[in-house]
Structure 1
Amino acid sequence: MSSCDCDHHAAGPKLKPIEEALEFLLQRAKPISDIESVPTGEALGRVLAAPVVSQVTVPPWNNSAMDGYAVRVADLDGERPRLPVSQRIPAGACGSELEPGTAARIFTGAPVPPGADAVVIQEVCEVDGEDVIITECPKPGANIRLAGEDIEQGAEVVAAGTRLAPQHLGLAASVGVAELQVYRRLKVAVFSSGDELVMPGGELGPGQIYNSNQFTLGGLLQALGCEVVQLGIVEDTFDATCEALSRGAEMADLVVASGGVSVGEEDHVKPAVEKLGSLDLWKIAIRPGKPLAFGHIGETPFIGTPGNPVSLFVTFCVFARPYILRSQGVAGDLQPKEVSAAAAFDWKKAEKRREYARARLVSGAAGELQVELYPSRSSGVLSSVAWADGLVVIPEGRTFSRGEPVRFIPYTELMS
């Protein structure tokens, strides 16, 4: 595997802009069409194929927003009105119509009895035997949740194309939906190219390193909800590369390889993909991770990432992640949300390529949000990725001084 990303070279005129490469990929992402039904409690991270429509009105009746006393406001005369307590209504029970001139002890979530038009919170009430004394009189409607104020029966509550988070599962359950229609998981075959690679637990020989890329790629794909098929380490030969690509294309919806996507003598991915299908190989105006490959093995799409571990991580997050999300059926804007914070560093040299530098958010002396930069820019320092909690975006042709605002993308946005 030739893992050189040529990050030390100046950008040339043939470098493809990041936005152009990303648009190219997204235009070619074909969402999965296979749909399956899964229990609502097992749908976390899945992509919704059909909208969730409410079967009920939520809340189904007027209910108390607080523990207190249900009253008729018209019955509250004077500064400290006293009312006998005529009934007690816990959550899960229904009271009878409120007798005029009385109050009902009521608890959060319980239906408001007919005739009551306000709930007085218990903190402004005094209990005296069988009576309650109201020390602060409410306005009509106080502390009452109205029927249907959250959701009307028949309303769409979760749109198709949503990647389901815990709150979506709770919302679906709240409207009585026990099963959800979701796209099946995207199956992705992964392999690492290189005779120098050894799996963790094995013995390293001269010139060999442990295969971290398989685990980084596998983890990133699992975080996106993919089913991962590990094809292991592929030796640096044309025939072995062809065999791995063919096997992956038969087994999966997408094949992803790390390393071997450049044009060196030991880089066999390019000619192998071209023999089996078609390939677009780009040098992109990004650092780290200039080389990126996209193509097809027969009808199965293929993405080739650089072999350097940091370059792999960055190119996956910037390019492969949105492509995979769209292929899973996720709708809408796929760009990660950025945070603006003050630079806790100086960036003195304007670069020709946009840089995604490893960074993390810290609090300044006055509590302000700052972005701290990892000191090394090397694409081989994988520990920098673990040290960071996101990537800071350094645009082309820009310099920064300490204190200036910079764009920071948290890992939470890049792994979901």
Structure 2
Amino acid sequence: MPSVIDPCALPELIHPDDALPMLLKQVNTISETTTLDLADALDFVLAGDIQSSINLPPFDNSAMDGYAFRFSDLDHSLSITSLTLVGTALAGHPFSGELHDGCCIRIMTGAPVPNGLDTVQMQELTQAKDNRISITHPKKQGANIRTLGEEVNVGQTVLSKGTRIRAAELGVLATLGMDKVSVIRKLKVAFFSTGDELKPVGTELKKGQIYDSNRYSIKGLLSKAQVEWLDLGIIEDCPQAIEQAFNQAAQQADLVLTSGGVSVGDADHVKQVLDKVGEITFWRLAMKPGKPFAMGKLNNAIFCGLPGNPVASMVTFYQLVMPLIEKMQGQGQNPRLKVQAILTNDIRRKPGRVEYQRGVLTYDNQGQLSVATTGAQGSGMLTSMSTANCFIHIPREQGQLLSGETVIVEPFNFVLS
């Protein structure tokens, strides 16, 4: 099958800002849906809009523990009015007695406010003696009452198609009384590493061999992305073995990921095999790390070839593969948060490629964000990703940066302390 674009004919590396739209244009959202019990729907994506069949709240209710009464019964010439206590309303146990002028009821948070009463005073601003309740005047009628439908009205769209169901969304769906929900099935992703130098963890290394770390990093990233994944292991640097792995992966997955084998070395066979059994949409990016990134198709599956260097593999996953996964799962585009921070060390570099240096973002007592690199930025130094909580985003044309300059930072594991 011929390539869509001959990568070797490209005169320049592709800017990642141009590569991402090209990549997203090649993929569609999964169309297959399934209906799940609400208890099983965590981390799935909604297949359609959710409209409410009820009002929220479904009745006027008290926002706090206190006393409910008619605002008009207060003597506004005084700062405190004494009312007669005639009963109690509890959550799940409404007041059912008679109401008359100058009366009030004890009411608990969530309890229905009886018809005819329109204001609740918190108990801290009252005094009780026998059946008389002295109430310090509230500022307005309707205070401390959650009114019928103030949050959601019948027929209102509460959650939109493409929303990922997390803890809050589970609670919202339960509040609406939904016991089942229609969701998009989870994306299926197959992945493998290539390289004769790679060996499984737990085995003894010989000269020239290294442990395969990329599959573990990729597996962790895929798990956070809430997809179904299939680990095909380490595939030898052999065109026949790679072709067989491609065929197996394409039969079982929507997306196929590889690490390694997409550079220009004599033993980098992934691109050559993809030329034979699939299509290459683009290859080689103007980004650092991550230059040897390939994207294409394998039958009905999408293919992404990640670089073999561990940091480059993770950076390209964050910047390119994750947005692709989100679109395929129906989430649409979720723009990454970028913030400005003050650089606290010099960065020496030459213009030419967009660079994603690993950094440590901190937040000082004056509310200022500052960032420092994690040190050496080699694309094989995976410890730089472990230490980092952000990427320092350096434009393609940018040269040396000095301490004290403002830079753009993309947090990925930042926690305020």
The answer, yes or no, to whether TM exceeds 0.5 is: yes
Corresponding residue number in structure 2 for 1:3: none
> Could you tell me how far 1:365 is from its partner in structure 2?
6.2
TM-score relative to the length of structure 1: 0.92
In structure 1, how many angstroms separate the alpha carbons of the residues matched to 2:335 and 2:122?
45
In structure 2, how many angstroms separate the alpha carbons of the residues matched to 1:204 and 1:113?
76
Corresponding residue number in structure 1 for 2:334: 334
In structure 1, how many angstroms separate the alpha carbons of the residues matched to 2:225 and 2:235?
25
- Return closer, same or farther for 1:365/1:127 CA change in 2, 3 Å cut-off: closer
What pairs with 1:369-380 in structure 2 (closer than 5 Å)? 369-380=369-380
- Return closer, same or farther for 1:240/1:298 CA change in 2, 3 Å cut-off: same
In structure 1, how many angstroms separate the alpha carbons of the residues matched to 2:291 and 2:138?
69
- Return closer, same or farther for 1:316/1:69 CA change in 2, 3 Å cut-off: same
In structure 2, how many angstroms separate the alpha carbons of the residues matched to 1:66 and 1:52?
30
In structure 2, how many angstroms separate the alpha carbons of the residues matched to 1:286 and 1:397?
12
Corresponding residue number in structure 1 for 2:100: 99
> Could you tell me how far 1:281 is from its partner in structure 2?
4.2
In structure 2, how many angstroms separate the alpha carbons of the residues matched to 1:93 and 1:138?
28
Corresponding residue number in structure 2 for 1:223: 224
Corresponding residue number in structure 1 for 2:361: 361
Corresponding residue number in structure 2 for 1:199: 200
Corresponding residue number in structure 1 for 2:20: 22
What pairs with 1:245-256 in structure 2 (closer than 5 Å)? 245-256=246-257
- Return closer, same or farther for 1:223/1:397 CA change in 2, 3 Å cut-off: same
- Return closer, same or farther for 1:201/1:102 CA change in 2, 3 Å cut-off: same
CA displacement, residues 306-355 of structure 1 (integer Å, 9 cap, x when unaligned) = 00000000011111111111111112x33212222222223354522111
RMSD: 1.7
Corresponding residue number in structure 2 for 1:234: 235
Single out whichever of 273-282 and 104-113 deviates more from structure 2. 273-282
In structure 1, how many angstroms separate the alpha carbons of the residues matched to 2:147 and 2:217?
50
- Return closer, same or farther for 1:206/1:184 CA change in 2, 3 Å cut-off: same
Corresponding residue number in structure 1 for 2:275: 274
In structure 2, how many angstroms separate the alpha carbons of the residues matched to 1:138 and 1:121?
12
Corresponding residue number in structure 1 for 2:52: 54
CA displacement, residues 200-225 of structure 1 (integer Å, 9 cap, x when unaligned) = 11111211111110111111111111
The count of aligned residue pairs is: 401
What pairs with 1:370-409 in structure 2 (closer than 5 Å)? 370-398=370-398, 399-409=400-410
> Could you tell me how far 1:369 is from its partner in structure 2?
2.1
Alpha carbons 1:255, 1:302 under 8 Å: kept: yes
AA aligned opposite 2:397 = G
Alpha carbons 1:261, 1:306 under 8 Å: kept: yes
Question: Does 2:123 match 1:122?
Answer: yes
Question: Does 2:180 match 1:179?
Answer: yes
Long gaps (5+) in structure 2 = 1-9
In structure 2, how many angstroms separate the alpha carbons of the residues matched to 1:365 and 1:139?
39
Alpha carbons 1:193, 1:233 under 8 Å: kept: yes
In structure 2, how many angstroms separate the alpha carbons of the residues matched to 1:133 and 1:319?
65
DSSP-derived class of the 2:101 partner: coil
> Could you tell me how far 1:116 is from its partner in structure 2?
0.7
AA aligned opposite 2:52 = S
Alpha carbons 1:64, 1:108 under 8 Å: kept: yes
Single out whichever of 90-99 and 304-313 deviates more from structure 2. 90-99
> Could you tell me how far 1:282 is from its partner in structure 2?
1.8
AA aligned opposite 2:32 = D
Single out whichever of 164-173 and 111-120 deviates more from structure 2. 164-173
Alpha carbons 1:161, 1:330 under 8 Å: kept: yes
Counterpart of 2:73 (choices 72, 75, 79) is: 75
DSSP-derived class of the 2:342 partner: strand
Single out whichever of 237-246 and 70-79 deviates more from structure 2. 70-79
Single out whichever of 367-376 and 78-87 deviates more from structure 2. 367-376
AA aligned opposite 1:215 = Y
Corresponding residue number in structure 2 for 1:262: 263
In structure 2, how many angstroms separate the alpha carbons of the residues matched to 1:400 and 1:129?
75
AA aligned opposite 1:53 = Q
Corresponding residue number in structure 1 for 2:5: none
What pairs with 1:28-43 in structure 2 (closer than 5 Å)? 28-43=26-41
DSSP-derived class of the 1:326 partner: helix
In structure 2, how many angstroms separate the alpha carbons of the residues matched to 1:125 and 1:405?
55
Alpha carbons 2:81, 2:137 under 8 Å: kept: no
TM-score relative to the length of structure 2: 0.92
Alpha carbons 2:261, 2:271 under 8 Å: kept: yes
Corresponding residue number in structure 2 for 1:8: none
Alpha carbons 2:30, 2:329 under 8 Å: kept: yes
CA displacement, residues 334-388 of structure 1 (integer Å, 9 cap, x when unaligned) = 3212222222223354522111111122133645221221111100110110111
CA displacement, residues 149-186 of structure 1 (integer Å, 9 cap, x when unaligned) = 00011111110011222211211111111111111111
DSSP-derived class of the 2:217 partner: helix
Corresponding residue number in structure 2 for 1:6: none
CA displacement, residues 99-135 of structure 1 (integer Å, 9 cap, x when unaligned) = 2211111111111111111101111111112211112
- Return closer, same or farther for 1:401/1:261 CA change in 2, 3 Å cut-off: same
In structure 1, how many angstroms separate the alpha carbons of the residues matched to 2:307 and 2:349?
25
In structure 2, how many angstroms separate the alpha carbons of the residues matched to 1:370 and 1:42?
41
Alpha carbons 2:74, 2:137 under 8 Å: kept: no
DSSP-derived class of the 1:81 partner: strand
Q: Percent identity?
A: 40
Alpha carbons 1:54, 1:176 under 8 Å: kept: no
Alpha carbons 1:260, 1:270 under 8 Å: kept: yes
In structure 1, how many angstroms separate the alpha carbons of the residues matched to 2:24 and 2:250?
20
